[in-house]
Amino acid sequence: MAQNNIQSQIDLLQQTQIQSLSPQQVLTARLTELSIEALRQRVDNECMENPWLEKKEETGNGPDDYENTASSEEEEGEVVYGERPYESTEDDNASVYGSKDDIPAYQLYTQNGDNTPENIEYGDTQSFFDKLESQIYEYDLTSDQREKLKYLIGSLGDDGLLHKPLYQIADEVEIYQGLQTTEEEMQQLLKVLWQFDPLGVGARSVQECLLIQIRHDKGNPLQPLMERVIRDYYDDFIHKRWDFIEQRLHLSHIEMEDLIANLLKLNPRPGTSLGESVSQGSRQITPDFFAKTELDGSVTMTLNEDGVPELKISEDALDTLKSLDTKDMAKLSQAAQENLRFTRSYVDRGQMFINAMGQRKQNMMSTMLAIIKLQKAYFRTGDDTSLRPMKLEDISEITGLDISTVSRVCNSKYVQTSYGIVPLRWFFSKATKQGDEEVSIRMIRAALQEIVENEDKNFPLSDDKLTELLREQGFNVARRTVSKYREQMGIPVARMRK
Backbone dihedral angles phi then psi of residue 482, each to the nearest 5 degrees: -60, -45
Percent above pLDDT 90 for the chain: 22
Backbone dihedral angles phi then psi of residue 462, each to the nearest 5 degrees: -75, 170
What is residue 403's predicted lDDT score, i.e. its pLDDT?
A: 86
Mean pLDDT of 142-147: 89
What is residue 186's predicted lDDT score, i.e. its pLDDT?
A: 93
Question: What is the band of 128 on the pLDDT scale with cuts at 50, 70, 90?
Answer: low
Mean pLDDT of 117-132: 51
Mean pLDDT of 90-102: 40
C-alpha angle 204-205-207 in degrees, rounded to nearest 5: 130
What is residue 112's predicted lDDT score, i.e. its pLDDT?
A: 35
pLDDT tens readout for residues 179-229: 889 999 999 999 999 999 888 999 999 999 999 999 988 888 999 999 999
* SS3 assignment, position 139: coil
What is residue 371's predicted lDDT score, i.e. its pLDDT?
A: 95
What is residue 189's predicted lDDT score, i.e. its pLDDT?
A: 94
Tell which residue, 414, 352, 363, 353, has the closest CA to residue 43: 353
pLDDT tens readout for residues 54-83: 888 764 444 443 344 444 444 433 333 333
pLDDT at residue 111 greater than cutoff 80: no
CA atoms of 447 and 429, how far apart (whole Å): 15
pLDDT at residue 235 greater than cutoff 80: yes
pLDDT at residue 320 greater than cutoff 90: no
Instruction: Check: pTM over 0.75? Answer yes or no.
Output: no
What DSSP assignment string belongs to 423-488? EGGGG-B-EEEETTEEEEHHHHHHHHHHHHHTS-TTSPPPHHHHHHHHHHTT----HHHHHHHHHH
What is residue 329's predicted lDDT score, i.e. its pLDDT?
A: 65
Whether residue 50 contacts residue 347, with contact meaning beta carbons closer than 8 Å, is answered with no
Backbone dihedral angles phi then psi of residue 438, each to the nearest 5 degrees: -95, 140
pLDDT at residue 485 greater than cutoff 90: no
Please tell me which residue, 458 or 230, carries the higher pLDDT value: 230
CA atoms of 329 and 137, how far apart (whole Å): 44
User: Average pLDDT, whole number, for the chain?
Assistant: 76
pLDDT tens readout for residues 270-311: 876 554 433 343 446 789 999 998 888 889 999 999 888 899
